[in-house]
Amino acid sequence: MPLQTNLAERGFDFMPAMPVIDDDYAQVRRAISYLIDHWRDQPSLSAVAAHVGLNETRFQKLFKRWAGISPKEFVQALTIDHARHLLRDSVSVLDAAYEVGLSGPGRLHDLFVTHEAMTPGEFKAGGAELEIIYGFHACPFGEALIMTTSRGLSGLAFCDDVRGRAPTLADMIRRWPNASYREDAVVTAPYAGRIFDPLNWRNETPLRVVMIGTDFEISVWEKLLKIPLGAATTYGDLAASLGKPKAARAVGSAVGRNPVSFVVPCHRVLGKTGAVTGYHWGVTRKHAIIGWEAGVAGSALQDIL
């Protein structure tokens, strides 16, 4: 049955958001990467702007438009101090009162998500008929690759600015080599509008996500869905909350294999010290997401989230 006819049923009873146009990210990315390298020297606003190739005023506006906060506030959001603030309830958020069971709600404080799990066994058994439809869309963090099945969103990945789409698509296809794939950006576009525009996060119908992974991976990813905007946890705490306090490293691997980036907020997991550790799609992008979320958390939107 054609996917298009199911859109309303699957949660798209809203007008697609205004197109997510963010050519800004290319310049913002250069600024962030510069800041990561030079934060020690307290770089002036004009120095960062110059590095990006803009004058101070234009840079200010670009940044404010992109993040909702000033460059200064953004730098603040990347400090260990801010990380400690995000981590203040690291342990308890993972054991939040609400249950994220099968088909349960997650990310209750921001994006409204329900999910179901699909193990590799199930995936193999039903995989023959399973078609993955994908499309590329601009988003605040560069170009995103969105993948869907008839059961919901199954993948979200990011493209490298210079290497382009192909490596990202190959990376994702390698995860489910037996599926069939078809590109149709018309089908995936509503997901981009729903996911990357905070105004749509509390849409009354949940965003359906299907998790394809091993039992252990799924148990880790379900925990991630409990971390709300404005909070973070550590690999160690995550492991402990699964009853395996020594498995921090295994948890790190599982978090790294999360196929639904951003929606399953793996960027909200930090090292024990608050350091921003690795990210499958580049640590710079992890910084960008954390800073961008600081802007969302501090904005007037806060009231509706």
From the CB of 262, what's the least distance to DNA, in Å?
10
From the CB of 8, what's the least distance to DNA, in Å?
32
Query: What's the rounded Cα separation, in Å, for the pair 235 and 253?
Result: 10
Does 284 sit near DNA (CB under 7 A)? no
Does 173 sit near DNA (CB under 7 A)? no
Query: What's the rounded Cα separation, in Å, for the pair 217 and 119?
Result: 10
Query: What's the rounded Cα separation, in Å, for the pair 297 and 230?
Result: 6
Give the per-residue contact string, 144-163, with DNA (x = CB under 7 A; - = no).
--------------------
Query: What's the rounded Cα separation, in Å, for the pair 276 and 305?
Result: 25
Name the residue with tokens 């290319």.
Answer: 26
Closer by beta carbon to DNA, 51 or else 267: 267
Closer by beta carbon to DNA, 93 or else 251: 251
* First-residue to last-residue Cα distance in the chain: 35
Does 253 sit near DNA (CB under 7 A)? yes
Query: What's the rounded Cα separation, in Å, for the pair 256 and 232?
Result: 16
User: Which positions are annotated as active-site residues?
Assistant: 266
Q: Which of 61, 65, 182, 272 binds DNA (CB under 7 A)?
A: 272
Q: How many residues bind DNA (CB under 7 A)?
A: 32
Closer by beta carbon to DNA, 54 or else 266: 266
Report the chain's C-alpha Rg in angstroms. Answer: 19
Closer by beta carbon to DNA, 196 or else 235: 235
From the CB of 232, what's the least distance to DNA, in Å?
11
Q: Which stretch binds DNA (CB under 7 A): 26-34, 95-103, 127-135, 266-274?
A: 266-274
Q: Which of 269, 289, 296, 297 binds DNA (CB under 7 A)?
A: 269
Does 40 sit near DNA (CB under 7 A)? no
Burial of 57 (0-12, 13-18, 19+ CB in 10 A): exposed
Amino acid letter, 175: R
Does 202 sit near DNA (CB under 7 A)? no
Does 280 sit near DNA (CB under 7 A)? yes
**What residue ranges in 102-141 does DSSP mark as E strands?**
105-106, 113-118, 131-139
From the CB of 220, what's the least distance to DNA, in Å?
8
Angle at 73 (CA atoms; ends 285, 237), nearest 5 degrees? 55
Residues 6+ apart with CB under 8 A from 236: 245, 248, 272
Residues that bind DNA (CB under 7 A): 214-217, 234-237, 244, 246-256, 258, 261, 266-267, 269, 271-272, 277-281
